Structure 1
Amino acid sequence: MRDSEFVVLADQALADIEHGLEASGADLDYSTAGGGVLEIEFDDGSKIVVNRHAAAQEMWVAARAGGFHFRWDGAAWKGTRDGRELMAVLAELISAQAGRRVELPARN
């Protein structure tokens, strides 16, 4: 995939995550920084950071539970270790850190 295609797909994933957070109704603070970085902050001060990693053409997630890498498979961002979809994994990580269930829609 060309770098420009990766950036478009990664930015769409970040936008989908933001929209999912808004729709979830969860009381979370989040912000985007330049370079494709989304930070989600929780009441206890912990964070989840989602960012695009252009060199590897992956989406990376850093959370209390560890680090996760996702690669575009032509239809969705899939975990490089277990093949699980980015939004499903992220919803679980957010739910664990928020202390309440948060759902994020899968990308269509």
Structure 2
Amino acid sequence: MTESEFLAAAEAALGKIEAALEQAAESTDLDVECKRSGNVLEIEFIDNGSKIIVNSQAPMQELWIAAKSGGFHYKQKGGIWLNTRDGSEFFTALAAMVSAQGGVPVTL
């Protein structure tokens, strides 16, 4: 994958997260605020002050997540972002992290 292909895929993923969380905040009791600065998306949970940070790492061609449950790296394979250690899928894992920290079931 070229750097431009990676940047486009990473941008699409971050945009999808923002849109999904905005919709979840409107349709459920999830109280989150998303802040975007370049390749970094900060998800803040208003009720408890915790955060999840999602960012793209162009040199590694990975998406990284930092959450209460730990730090995770995801690389795209066959159009799907997969955890570099256990093979779990990015959006499924992030939804579980958001659900755990936000106290509301969320699907991304």
Give the TM-score normalised by the residue count of structure 2: 0.91
How many equivalent pairs are there? 103
1:20 aligns with 2:25: no
- Give the residue type in structure 1 aligned to 2:40: V
**Secondary structure in 2 matching 1:96:** helix
Distance 2:70 2:31 in 1: 22
Tell me, yes or no, if structure 1 residue 4 matches structure 2 residue 4.
yes
Q: Which 4+ runs in 1 deviate beyond 4 A? A: none
Displacement of 1:62: 0.2
The alignment yields a C-alpha RMSD, in angstroms, of 0.9
Structure 1: 5+ residue stretches without partners: none
Q: Deviations over 1:46-78 (max 9, x none)?
A: 100000001110000000000000000022111
2:82 equivalent to 1:78: yes
Q: What CA distance in whole angstroms lies between the structure 2 residues aligned with 1:99 and 1:20?
A: 16
Find the partner of 1:41 among 27, 40, 44: 44
Partners in 2 of 1:96 and 1:67 — Cα distance? 15
- Unaligned stretches of 5+ residues in structure 2: none
Q: Given the two structures, how large is their TM-score scaled by the length of structure 1?
A: 0.91
Q: What whole-Å deviation, never above 9, does each CA across 1:26-59 have from its counterpart, x for those lacking one?
A: 221111112x110000121110000000111000
